[in-house]
Amino acid sequence: MGPEVDGETTVESERVVGRGEVGVGGEAVASKAALLNLPRLYIVDSDMTTGWAQEVFSLPHNAIRRELIDLYTILGAVYKRNARTAREEDEKFSHWWSVFSAFVEEYFDIEARILLPLIGPAEEDPVHKQDIAVLMYQMEDARIKLVKKLREVNEVVEKLFVLPMKDVFPLLCKALDHFVPMLLDYFIEEEDVLPSYILGFHSLVMKDVILQKMADFVLVGREPQLFIVMLSAWMDDKEQLSNWKKKALRGYNRFINFQRWESKYLRTHKKIVEDFHGSVLRNSRLRSSRLRSSGLRSRSGLIRSGGLGRRSRGWSRF
């Protein structure tokens, strides 16, 4: 730990220089209480025709990646404020996390019931049977470990009911460091390995069937109205979103109901993210105003995402 300067701790290393400053490569930010590691988050683009077998995985994966971007937007805002949050804000974050956590668990249900069966019927070839059996065992083992890590983060977030954010934040950062990279690696592995198995058994026609099955599953799941919007919230392209709604949703759900659900998502789940991000902007403007009035220069830095990933479009809210 570096020396105390004006009541602040300065951390000097190859990656991080200064409290609240951008580390080399934008990979991590240090504080007296915690090291907030910002993972590489990106949206995977797949070909709409030849890559359909990858797309049935990348669609829900991208939905979770989009939520992770929002998660680190919140955490970045908390960090910038030295984890000084109001009780109401702690409750809002706890609610946001509970929705996100349930969404991830619902994805694992979709994966087990809809996506993995696509790997196809076992052929008579015993080598092929064994290959699929080993693959399924490895994925199940990884999924069990991920659910365990997710629930460990849940337990940390629950501490906010009795402890202030400044005490919980270091524990939360540590728990997320054990969960998020593992989850992202799991997604990449699925997107790289599983499509070749699926293409061996199914044609492009199956894509629309799977999109509709996923939507139907979500619409009778834990949080149908929020989750169906979250499943597609990462789609910035209007044509892509329109095509997905045509294939995945039926009747009124495609138009009137989806608009109503989207409005609910924006004024509840998404608004929590915007409120945290807005608090940083307000504090930054207030601090800049005070510094200008006192003739001092602001030294505040930016928190950035870990950068761009392969096959990707990078994101940063800061």
Please tell me the distance from the alpha carbon of residue 238 to that of residue 254, in angstroms, as a whole number: 14
3-state secondary structure of 90: helix
| Phi and psi torsions of 127, nearest 5° | -65, -40
Given this model, what pLDDT does residue 127 score? 65
- What is the domain range of residue 166? 33-294
Q: What are the tens digits of pLDDT across the range 219-273?
A: 999 999 999 999 999 999 999 999 999 999 988 788 789 999 999 999 999 999 9
- Within the chain, residue ranges assigned H as helices are 52-80, 87-110, 126-158, 165-199, 205-218, 224-230, 238-248, 256-267, 269-294
**pLDDT value at 306 more than 80:** no
pLDDT value of position 16: 25
Distance set, CA 238 to CA 226, 259, 260, 267 (Å): 19, 14, 17, 20
CATH number of the structural domain spanning residue 186: 1.20.120
Answer whether residue 13 is part of any domain.
no
Tell me the pLDDT tens digit for each residue of 142-189. 999 999 999 999 999 999 999 999 999 999 999 999 999 999 999 999
Of residues 121 and 161, the one with the higher pLDDT is: 161
Q: What is the pLDDT of residues 106-120, one digit of tens each?
A: 999 999 999 998 886
Q: Number of structural domains, the chain?
A: 1
Of the listed ranges 3-17, 80-94, 131-145, the one predicted with least confidence: 3-17
Question: Does the residue 226 lie in any domain?
Answer: yes
Spatial distance between the Cα atoms of 3 and 222, rounded to a whole number of angstroms? 49
Q: Is the residue at 120 inside a domain?
A: yes
Give 274 or 297, the one with higher predicted confidence.
274
Q: Per the domain annotation, does 210 fall within a domain? A: yes
Domain assignment present for 9: no
Contact 235, 248 (CB under 8 A): no
Q: Which residues sit opposite 8 in a β-bridge?
A: 5
Percentage of residues in the chain having pLDDT higher than 70: 74
Sign of CA dihedral 276, 279, 281, 283: negative
